[in-house]
């Protein structure tokens, strides 16, 4: 039987948990690629399910007991959750990445209460410090080159443990996006929230797999996909601040194709110079102008001034190829994300990069650190739109240069 109530606190104990999960997740990906290599059908759902189970198993060992939940409420509100709300369900309904979600009720309103596991924030820095030497050794990179990227990840992870900041951002972004069609957001309640607790409306809607299992029509899928596309591109181009965790668990779907947005724990603010450099690439002609393109590559660390001419050529070529693929949806009036040949071209490209000898031996990591979370968010968005097989009008929000 699993020990649900014991939180492993020592660095080594925690490390072994995460390494175990990492190995399991890594193993699942290997399995995935092995199956793909022999041309067998393998669904992303299957993979995600395996990973979710591996992660959940590890987390349930770390998770807080009812007693700890009461303790957290006493610490931050001076009373138990049963006194703070009219009703509070002691059993969590959902596991969150660094916490758990409970259902509560106040003044007849159904609420979601997200509670962070104790000790998570303290362990972010030490957990990352454990990974660093492996990354350095695996690629043979210098500490200072790698440091830029690690700092970015560390900053974002630390922000994710600050629920006061998350509440502020949830409130800001959900209000700033409230005019976008076919989206819905929770109202957030600061008086019932703290550094480790967020109280918001319960959104009654389906996770993507359940939504898709109901066989929604193409029209409904397009509507949901369009809502998500507009949500992301409005944030990027108009707010330059974005929900950077486009993970299926963070969206809830209704039968009519409207989409609820959850989880503003991971929000990326795009610095102006990064934004300008990056989105200049979408302007007609820039990619064909060798000088302009090289300038952008230098400014976004695709190439470095210590590169040989041959390395420059390889890395710029690789970046150009990548851009041609990932920017494709932006070029026409609309784009069909159900197009499997498109997604295969992304995977084939990835494979090509992995096998390139020069790229494998790069002396330093490449790419702008500010792109990490934005690219990841777009990749998540594309994957979700692919799962929805949505056809989307892509010109709604375009770069403001
Ligand atoms: N307001 C809400 N209404 C309904 N379900 C919610 C709500 N907030 C969270 N959940 C459920 O809890 C899960 C985890 O919440 P989330 O905010 O994404 O946590 P984390 O920041 O740890 O990823 C979500 O995937 C969803 O199933
Ligand atoms: Mg989440």
Half-sphere exposure in the Cβ direction for 207 (13 Å, CA): 7
Q: Please choose from 92, 101, 109, 162 the residue to mutate so as to test ligand 1's pocket, defined by most ligand atoms within 8 A of CB.
A: 101
Tokens representing residue 359 in the block: 């790229």
Measured from the Cα of 207, ligand 1's closest atom is 27
Tokens representing residue 233 in the block: 């591109």
Of 161, 167, 181, 171, nearest to 230 by C-alpha is: 181
- pLDDT attached to residue 6: 45
Nearest ligand by distance to the CA of 97: 1
pTM: 0.85
CA 310, CA 363: separation in Å to the nearest integer?
A: 14
DSSP symbol at 253: E
Separation of 101 CA from ligand 1 center, angstroms?
6
With residues binned 3-state (H G I as helix, E B as strand, rest as coil), the percentages for the chain, rounded to 5, are 60, 10, 30
Q: Are 373 and 268 in contact (CB under 8 A)?
A: yes
Spell out a b/e string for 56-66, using b for 16 or more CB atoms within 10 Å of the CB, else e: eebbebbbbee
Among protein residues, the one whose CA lies closest to atom 12 of ligand 1? 94
Separation of 12 CA from ligand 2 center, angstroms?
26
- pLDDT attached to residue 325: 93
Q: Are 153 and 128 in contact (CB under 8 A)?
A: yes
Tens-digit pLDDT profile for the chain (401 aa)? 343 444 444 445 555 555 555 555 545 544 554 454 444 444 555 555 655 555 555 555 445 577 788 999 999 999 999 999 999 999 899 887 788 999 999 999 999 999 998 888 888 888 788 878 877 777 788 888 888 998 999 999 999 999 999 999 999 999 999 999 999 999 999 999 999 999 999 999 999 999 999 999 999 999 999 999 999 999 999 999 999 999 999 999 999 999 999 999 999 999 999 999 999 988 888 888 999 999 999 999 999 999 999 999 999 999 999 999 999 999 899 999 999 999 999 999 989 888 888 887 888 899 999 999 999 999 999 999 999 999 999 999 887 66
Among protein residues, the one whose CA lies closest to atom 19 of ligand 1? 96
Measured from the Cα of 202, ligand 1's closest atom is 3
Q: For residue 15, give Cα distances in angstroms to 7, 8, 9, 20, 176.
A: 13, 9, 10, 8, 39
Pocket of ligand 1 (CB under 6 A): 94, 96-99, 101, 112, 114, 186, 200-203, 249-250, 262-263, 265
Nearest ligand by distance to the CA of 117: 1
Of 320, 286, 140, nearest to 312 by C-alpha is: 320
CA 84, CA 308: separation in Å to the nearest integer?
A: 64
Among protein residues, the one whose CA lies closest to atom 21 of ligand 1? 263
Degrees, nearest 5: CA angle 303-308-310: 90
CA 47, CA 162: separation in Å to the nearest integer?
A: 30
Separation of 343 CA from ligand 1 center, angstroms?
28
Region for 140 from its dihedrals, namely left if φ exceeds 0, alpha if ψ lies in -120 to 50, beta otherwise: left
Among protein residues, the one whose CA lies closest to atom 2 of ligand 1? 202
- pLDDT attached to residue 52: 55
Nearest ligand by distance to the CA of 261: 1
- pLDDT attached to residue 82: 95
DSSP symbol at 288: G
- pLDDT attached to residue 379: 93
Separation of 258 CA from ligand 1 center, angstroms?
17
């Amino acid at each position: 039987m699993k020990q649900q109530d014991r939180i492993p606190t020592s660095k080594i104990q925690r490390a072994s948990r995460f390494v175990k999960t990492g190995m399991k997740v890594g193993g699942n990906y290997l399995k995935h690629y092995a199956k793909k290599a022999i041309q067998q059908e393998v669904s992303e759902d299957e993979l995600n399910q395996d990973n979710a189970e591996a992660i959940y198993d590890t987390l349930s060992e770390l998770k807080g007991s009812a007693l700890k939940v009461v303790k957290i409420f006493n610490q931050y509100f001076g009373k138990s959750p049963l006194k703070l709300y009219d009703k509070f369900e002691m059993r969590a309904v959902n596991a969150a990445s660094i916490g758990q979600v409970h259902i509560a009720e106040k003044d007849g309103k159904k609420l979601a209460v997200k509670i962070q596991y104790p000790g998570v924030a303290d362990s972010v820095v030490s957990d990352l410090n454990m990974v660093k030497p492996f990354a350095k050794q695996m690629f043979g990179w210098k500490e200072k080159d790698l440091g830029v990227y690690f700092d970015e990840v560390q900053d974002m992870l630390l922000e994710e443990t600050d629920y006061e900041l998350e509440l502020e951002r949830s409130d800001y972004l959900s209000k700033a996006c409230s005019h976008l069609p076919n989206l819905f957001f929770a109202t957030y309640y600061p008086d019932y929230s703290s550094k480790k607790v967020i109280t918001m409306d319960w959104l009654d809607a389906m996770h993507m797999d359940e939504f898709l299992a109901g066989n929604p029509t193409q029209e409904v899928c397009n509507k949901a996909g369009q809502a998500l596309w507009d949500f992301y591109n409005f944030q990027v181009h108009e707010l330059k601040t974005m929900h950077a965790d486009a993970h299926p668990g963070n969206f809830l779907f209704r039968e009519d194709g409207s989409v609820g947005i959850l989880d503003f724990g991971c929000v990326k603010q795009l610095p102006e110079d990064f934004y300008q450099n990056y989105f200049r690439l979408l302007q007609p002609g820039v990619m064909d102008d060798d000088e302009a393109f090289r300038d952008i590559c230098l400014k976004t660390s695709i190439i470095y001034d210590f590169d040989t001419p041959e390395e420059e050529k390889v890395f710029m070529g690789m970046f150009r190829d990548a851009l041609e693929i990932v920017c494709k949806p932006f070029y026409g009036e609309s784009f069909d994300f159900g197009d499997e040949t498109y997604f295969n071209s992304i995977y084939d490209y990835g494979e090509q990069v992995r096998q390139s000898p020069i790229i494998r031996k790069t002396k330093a990591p490449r790419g702008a650190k500010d792109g990490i979370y934005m690219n990841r968010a777009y990749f998540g968005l594309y994957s979700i739109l692919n799962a929805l097989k949505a056809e989307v009008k892509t010109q709604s929000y375009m770069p403001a240069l």
